[in-house]
């Protein structure tokens, strides 16, 4: 079963070819970061224009790398949400056109299910079915969620952020510190050698308005960002070396402490075989060390995606699409897909 997957939900244009269940034949990622950097964040119009420019070449190159011909493909998969509407539409249009031209099934994938499935792209990871049930923390630029996975497609949302995502908190913090975009890797670098206990930043524990979710498993990062803003107003030197390293380390630690505390609580209450962490922020070495410590304390093996599969890529979309094969009885072969910028993931 040869599957071609397309990911264009944000600022990475990516195409992957996977021979199901797990032989990855190509995974090309064109990152647009340099194009968005002058604006301090992702500009949707630039992202979608860039996808239009890069996608045709990436499709041809991925197929060439895979050693397959167009006629060898058995299905096309594409991210249909959540993400930027105009960016998603570029991938959807290309995927739909390819499926129609090749007369093969078209599969719609939730971007967050893609991140979750990235955990199993590590050749050393157990098979998805053997890891069940597991708990996973999804930490990206747009989402922060604790999800319990009972079976493929059965995702229970245990907790999530009520405002900013962990990656967003790092991106906004980096902006306030004058570090640039994207913030996560820049804060990680700036925090090297810094004292993470120097500044007491809040750990944002929601108590209400969690939409039926247990507040003890939810996150809130808006207060942290405000605390940094006020700290910098009171002490402008905190954004300059040598204090900068301490500020960045303290801020980063506050973001991660909240992730670890909620995960610890979820692990206490959930009987799971594995604990996973995925999404762009999970590439961070300090976070990985803290996750490993927590997993060891709880006696639960840790699943992490290889770094190249942590940030947005189409290999994870292909891996998630595999779970939809063969097509469910009665499913439309080439459905008309729409972009779903706010597509939800998991049921409460
Ligand atoms: O999963 P992803 O590529 O895109 C979304 O689905 O949002 O995640 C992007 C996020 C950004 O907020 C970025 O700052 C963060 O991942 N990130 C990091 C690191 N590299 C990327 N956060 C912390 N440390 C890093 N090294
Ligand atoms: Zn993502």
The pLDDT of residue 150: 95
pLDDT digits over 179-203, tens only? 999 999 999 999 999 999 999 999 9
Check if 2-116+310-327 and 130-304 are the same fold. Answer: yes
Which tokens go with 168? 């967003």
Question: Mean pLDDT throughout 203-211?
Answer: 89
> In a mutational test of the pocket of ligand 1, which residue from 121, 311, 342 has the highest number of ligand atoms less than 8 Å from its CB?
311
Angle 124-129-132 from CA coordinates, rounded to 5° = 95
Q: For the chain, what are the domain ranges?
A: 2-116+310-327, 130-304
pTM: 0.96
pLDDT digits over 99-154, tens only? 999 999 999 999 999 999 999 999 999 999 999 999 999 999 999 999 999 998 89
Q: Give the residue from 134, 95, 144 showing the smallest Cα distance to 255.
A: 144
- Nearest-Å Rg of the Cα atoms of the chain is 20
**What kind of fold does domain 130-304 have according to CATH?**
Nucleotidyltransferase; domain 5 (3.30.420)
- Expressed in angstroms and rounded, the spacing between residue 49 Cα and the centre of ligand 2 is 19
Q: How high is the mean pLDDT of the chain?
A: 96
* Burial letters 233-259, b for 16+ CB under 10 A, else e: eeeeebbeeebbbbbbbbbbbbbbebb
Which tokens go with 203? 């750990």
Helix and strand numbers, DSSP H then E, in the chain: 11, 10
pLDDT digits over 270-296, tens only? 899 999 999 999 999 999 999 999 999
CATH of domain 2-116+310-327: 3.30.420.40
- Expressed in angstroms and rounded, the spacing between residue 69 Cα and the centre of ligand 1 is 34
Q: Give the residue from 19, 75, 105 showing the smallest Cα distance to 331.
A: 105
The pLDDT of residue 331: 84
Q: Whose CA is nearest to atom 16 of ligand 1?
A: 280
Q: Give the residue from 287, 84, 40 showing the smallest Cα distance to 166.
A: 287
State phi, psi for 18 to the nearest 5 degrees: -130, 135
Half-sphere exposure at residue 154, Cβ-oriented, CA atoms within 13 angstroms = 8
> In a mutational test of the pocket of ligand 1, which residue from 9, 117, 119, 141 has the highest number of ligand atoms less than 8 Å from its CB?
141
């Amino acid at each position: 079963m040869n599957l071609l997957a397309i990911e264009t939900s944000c600022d990475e244009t990516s195409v992957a070819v996977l021979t199901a269940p797990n032989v990855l034949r190509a995974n090309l990622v064109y990152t647009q970061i340099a194009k968005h950097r002058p604006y301090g964040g992702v500009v949707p119009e630039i992202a979608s224009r860039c996808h239009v420019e890069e996608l045709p070449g990436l499709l041809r190159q991925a197929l060439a790398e895979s050693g397959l011909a167009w006629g060898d493909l058995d299905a096309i998969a594409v991210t249909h949400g959540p993400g930027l509407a105009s960016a998603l539409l570029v991938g959807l249009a290309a995927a739909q056109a390819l499926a129609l031209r090749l007369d093969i099934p078209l599969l719609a994938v939730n971007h967050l299910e893609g991140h979750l499935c990235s955990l199993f792209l590590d050749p050393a990871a157990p098979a998805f079915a053997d890891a069940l049930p597991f708990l996973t923390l999804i930490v990206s630029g747009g989402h922060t969620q604790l999800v319990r996975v009972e079976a493929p497609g059965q995702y229970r949302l245990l907790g999530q952020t009520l405002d900013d995502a962990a990656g967003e908190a790092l991106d906004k913090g980096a902006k306030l510190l004058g570090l640039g975009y994207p913030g996560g890797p820049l804060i990680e670098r700036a925090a090297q050698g810094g004292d993470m206990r120097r500044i007491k930043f809040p750990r944002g524990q929601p108590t209400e308005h969690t939409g039926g979710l247990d507040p003890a498993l939810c996150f809130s990062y808006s207060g942290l960002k405000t605390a940094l803003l006020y700290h910098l107003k009171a002490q402008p030197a905190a954004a300059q070396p040598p204090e900068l390293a301490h500020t960045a380390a303290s801020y980063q630690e506050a973001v991660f402490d909240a992730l670890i505390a909620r995960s610890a609580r979820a692990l206490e209450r959930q009987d799971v075989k594995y604990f996973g962490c995925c999404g762009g922020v999970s590439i961070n070495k300090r976070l990985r060390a803290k996750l490993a410590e927590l997993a060891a304390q709880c006696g639960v093996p840790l699943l992490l995606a290889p770094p190249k599969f942590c940030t947005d890529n189409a290999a994870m979309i292909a891996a998630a699409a595999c779970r939809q094969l063969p097509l469910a009885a009665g499913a439309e072969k080439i459905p008309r897909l729409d972009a779903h910028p706010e597509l939800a993931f998991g049921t409460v």
